Amino acid sequence: MKTADNNNSNIILFDLGKNEMFNINDNLKTLRRKLKGSFNIAINKYEITAEVLNDVQLIVFGSPRAMFSESEFNCLRKYIDLGGSVLVMLAEGGEKELHTNINYLLEEYGIMVNSDCVLRTHYYLYFHPKECLVKDGVVNEAVANYLGREKKSTSRCISFVFPYGASLNVAKPAAPILTSGSVAYPLNRPLCAFYSASKYSSEVKRGKLAVIGSGHLLTDKYINWEENDKIRELLFDFLITDNITLNEIDANDPETSDYKMIPDIGMLSSRVRTCLQLQESLNNTGHLLLSADNINTLIDTKLCSLNTSMLLDALNAYTLLNVPHNQLQLIPPTFNNTLPMLQFAVYPPPFQELPSPFLELFDLDGILGSEKKLLAQLAMQCLEMESGEKIEDNVNMFIIEANEKLGIGNRVSDCKDIIKSVFTLINNYKTK
């Protein structure tokens, strides 16, 4: 079998012989378009053999859903040993859900896909809990160096969406690259891992292996979400080129958590328990044993469980107590109304009237006084002459004001016209 030479071969082989979930012609069209400009895309629909892997620089398994044979595993091992690169994409449920045995090969390089699903513990941006938005999932400084981000915030140098994926178990010689962060569950577990033979082989050609727990991340739907396309560049640049060198310190001591979390013994010890439940933990002398063998007996989750284990006893209680077992009747609920019930209006609703005028601001004599009294007040004002005023001006003012109060000549503002109107009225009255 020929080796995968980076200088002479640029073929990326997508395997479809294992009923892969992610097809380069179906839901990986965007990925194919991004790779087509620099690489030759090939497809394999048959058994993996040495002839199939000839001159292939990278082989991609898009979540296989069939079993591999021993001969196929041997070909892949030899392909990696001779410098070939392999990318394995999985999905939620791992081997158990996909009905494959890919872990048999991956475990030889320190990687195993769990049969679980990564969930986000609370809603943020994306509605489905399996569409996990991870903002603090980088555990190797090589990612920050590759992206040109600040090393002080290595864990937060990239934000990506991890949809419908499974977590990984990673041990040496492999190294975790991305984790689920501090928000998704399981907490701080590897989601993507790299293996490179550069540290373990002195040969010129060194094989590489990359495993990611969610192949959905590279599909047409999710590849442009957040910075998922940066993850795509990171995967293929690591597998095809030598531009990415993993940080030794982060690879040897990654910041990951245990898959099975240790319970809070201090909190569990504060729960109220009876003597019967503690009887199993007492020795013959009556002293409480706290050794590592019986520490699990102190943790009893059945006290706070919600199940149907007592359903049969509850049904038998009807017969023992001679209580008829009838279907529950629907009781109409009664609510306490904070407002009185609505009633039909008998009389028209009273509308709020305008407020009465402020009497201290009105001249009551000027409004309610008789015409004689008004004329008398007007005459007194005209007779009270001030210095500099003329008698003719006061007379003109008296005639105009009297006309406005009595309404003799409408729309008449000239004194002569007002007097003419008065004499006309007198003349007309005498001639009748």
> Is 263 a domain residue?
no
Beta bridge partners of 179: 190
**What is the DSSP track for 236-267?**
HHHHH-S-----HHHHHS-----SSPPP-HHH
Compute the average pLDDT of residues 373-379.
Answer: 81
Examine residue 216 and state whether it is found in any structural domain, yes or no.
yes
Q: Is residue 347 a part of any domain in this protein?
A: no
Q: Distance between CA atoms of 186 and 167, rounded to whole angstroms?
A: 8
What pLDDT does 355 receive? 80
The pLDDT assigned to 234 comes to 95
Query: Between these two residues, 301 and 146, which has the higher pLDDT value?
Result: 146
CA–CA dist 159, 99 (Å, integer): 31
Residue 329 in any domain: the answer is no
| Residue that terminates a domain, selected from 252, 273, 296 | 252
- How far, CA to CA in Å, does 183 sit from each of 168, 223, 327? 17, 21, 45
Q: What does the pLDDT read at residue 278?
A: 47
Please check whether residue 99 lies inside any domain of the structure: yes
Q: Which domain holds residue 171?
A: 11-252
Reported as a single tens digit per residue, the pLDDT across 43-52 is 999 999 999 9
What sign does the dihedral 256-171-214-201 (CA atoms) show? positive
- Collapsing DSSP to helix, strand or coil, 309 comes out as coil
* pLDDT > 90 in the chain, percent: 45
Q: Which of 297, 296, 278 lies closest to 288, judged by CA?
A: 278
- The CATH number for 189's domain is 3.40.50.880
Does the residue 314 lie in any domain?
A: no
From CA 226, how far away is CA 68, in angstroms rounded?
34
Same domain, 79 and 224: yes
Q: Count structural domains, the chain.
A: 2
Contact 85, 59 (CB under 8 A): yes
Last residue of a domain, one of 252, 284, 304: 252
Q: What separation in angstroms does the CA of 392 have from each of 135, 381, 389, 395, 418?
A: 96, 14, 9, 5, 15
Say which residue the tokens 């293996």 belong to.
195
Q: Is residue 367 part of a domain?
A: yes
- What's the Cα-to-Cα distance from 104 to each of 113, 115, 348, rounded to whole Å? 10, 14, 87
% pLDDT > 70, the chain: 83
If asked whether residues 60 and 191 sit together in one domain, one would say yes
Confidence of residue 360 (pLDDT cuts 50, 70, 90): low
Report pLDDT digits (tens) over 85-107.
999 999 999 999 999 999 999 99
Strand duo 56-62 + 11-15: pairing: parallel
Same domain for 369 and 244: no
Higher pLDDT pick, 297 / 96: 96
Is pLDDT of 139 > 90?
yes
Separation between Cα atoms, residue 256 and residue 261, nearest integer Å: 12
Residue-wise pLDDT for 252-270, tens only, equals 888 888 888 777 777 777 7
Say what the pLDDT of residue 298 is: 57
Q: Is residue 3 part of a domain?
A: no
Residues 239 and 383 grouped into a single domain:
no
Question: What's the pTM value of the predicted model, to 2 decimals?
Answer: 0.61
Residue 238 has pLDDT above 80, yes or no: yes
Do 246 and 370 reside in the same domain of the chain? no
In 158-225, alpha helices (H): none
Q: Is 70 helix (H, G, I), strand (E, B) or coil?
A: helix
What is the β-pairing status of strands 56-62 and 85-89?
parallel
Looking at mean pLDDT, say which of 6-10, 292-296, 354-358 comes out highest.
354-358
Q: Which of 200, 231, 252 is at the close of a domain?
A: 252
